[in-house]
Amino acid sequence: MQNKGVWIALGLLPLILLAGLIGVFVVKGTGIEAEPAAPVEVIEFQKVVLTPNSFDITLRNSGPGEATVAQVLVDDAVWNGSMTPSQTIPRLGTANLQIPYPWVEGDPYEIKLITSNGLIFAHEIPVATATPELSRETLWSYSLIGLYVGVVPVALGLLWFPFVRQLGKQGMHFLLAITIGLLMFLLIDTALEAWEEAVETPRGFFAQPLVILIALATFLLLQRLGEAGENKASGLRLSFLIALSIGLHNLGEGLAIGSSFAAGEAALGTFLIIGFTLHNITEGLGIIAPLANQRPSFRYFVLLALLAGGPAIVGTWIGGAAATPLFIAICLAIGAGAIMQVIVAVSQFMRQEVTSKINWLSWSNLSGVGLGLAIMYVTKVFI
């Protein structure tokens, strides 16, 4: 028992000494008295909502210390604005700024904030238009958009199943190789979108390393669950995993569409609907690739369509509520990790099916991967 107490004390000793060192720095300081040449403040416009005769803005302080908004300007004219809970925003804190202003539909505006230290932060509104309000009608509209973008094109892709069943062993491998190409493109696309959202996130949240860590953690978790749950990959289970990973990707697409409409960019949102619908029909083909030798029920196909396309509906809801870049980045990072794991699972499935007549890395399979990448690239061009 005495030895155990000594062992615990030795384990705590470095932490106790570290706490003492930090305490010395807090009380005595670093010994360097030089002040910074200029104050360091960062205020970001996290959300801008245009309501009749008003700009309602959510601000976030992503600087190293608190920041105080001293003055508000609209088109370089000083304007009154009320801030809640206070004009002083703590580090990583938020505040709501309401600016009564008779803005005109279609006109551009520039809003500037001047802090108590004289720093200026600006936000441009290229075309003023009322921000859509969330209501039962708008939620229903978002649901239809998610249905058109996610569920319907994926379901249409699943209609290739009778054609796929007529393929031989070599044809099935070629189709699985195409699926790997599709997933590789989705992985790169999702990872880049997650990184872009992380760049837009306030720096104090360290979103870029967080995106990498979440993607890796998702991959490792799914890989561990896959190894614990089965000895050999099955076609039914693999199609389920592919649908799940595609669903997480489509969640990000729904977020992009919902955010476009929430920002009043209806033309961009409509363009994204057409592009994503064309893009997503190829995903159904990837989902049914492992099912060539299976006889799943109709209900299973319904489940696959909802699993792969349904998250697009949820994404439009969240995007329509103006989700933060950090939340979107986290969702996309989870999707990237899931897609990465499914690529590994499909590769393992192909290797299990290898015979003396089929080479896993044959020119046919490699060309299938290239074709999958090409299909996704061409359809992505329309987005």
Identify the residue whose tokens are 């029920």: 297
Of 301, 312, 300, 306, the residue nearest 249 (C-alpha): 312
pLDDT tens-digit profile of 154-199?
Answer: 888 888 888 888 877 777 778 888 888 888 888 898 899 889 888 8
For residue 302, what pLDDT is reported?
92
Q: Which residues contact 292 (CB under 8 A, 6 or more apart)?
A: 164, 165, 167, 171, 172, 175, 235
Domain edges within the chain = 43-125, 136-380
3-class secondary structure, 170:
helix
Q: What is the DSSP letter of 36?
A: P
Burial class (CB in 10 A: 0-12, 13-18, 19+), 114: middle
Q: What CA–CA distance (Å, rounded) separates 177 from 158? A: 17
Q: What is the DSSP letter of 64?
A: S
Q: What CA–CA distance (Å, rounded) separates 332 from 339? A: 10
Helix (H) or strand (E) holding 357: none
Q: Residue 232: how many CB atoms within 10 A of its CB?
A: 8
Q: What is the DSSP letter of 38?
A: S
For residue 156, what pLDDT is reported?
87
- Degrees (nearest 5) of the Cα angle 22, 23, 28? 105
Of 320, 167, 165, the residue nearest 254 (C-alpha): 320
What is the DSSP pairing of strand 77-79 with strand 120-125? unpaired
Four-CA torsion 281, 286, 291, 295, nearest 10 degrees? -10
pLDDT tens-digit profile of 34-59?
Answer: 555 556 788 888 888 888 889 999 89
SS3 track for 230-282: CCCCCHHHHHHHHHHHHHHHHHHHHHHHHHHHHCCCHHHHHHHHHHHHHHHHH
> How far from chain centre, in Å, is Cα 145?
18
For residue 354, what pLDDT is reported?
56
Sort residue 75 into left (φ over 0), alpha (ψ -120 to 50) or beta. Answer: left
CA atoms within 13 A on the CB side of 22: 6
Q: Homologous superfamily of 43-125 in CATH?
A: PCu(A)C copper chaperone (2.60.40.1890)
Question: b/e string for 306-333 if b means 16 or more Cβ within 10 A?
Answer: bbbbbbbbbbbbbbbebbbbbebbbbbb
Helix (H) or strand (E) holding 145: helix 136-146
95 residue type, one letter: A
Mark the ranges of the chain whose per-residue pLDDT is less than 70: 1-2, 25-26, 28-39, 134, 226-233, 260-277, 279, 322-323, 352-361, 382-383
For residue 351, what pLDDT is reported?
73
For residue 98, what pLDDT is reported?
94
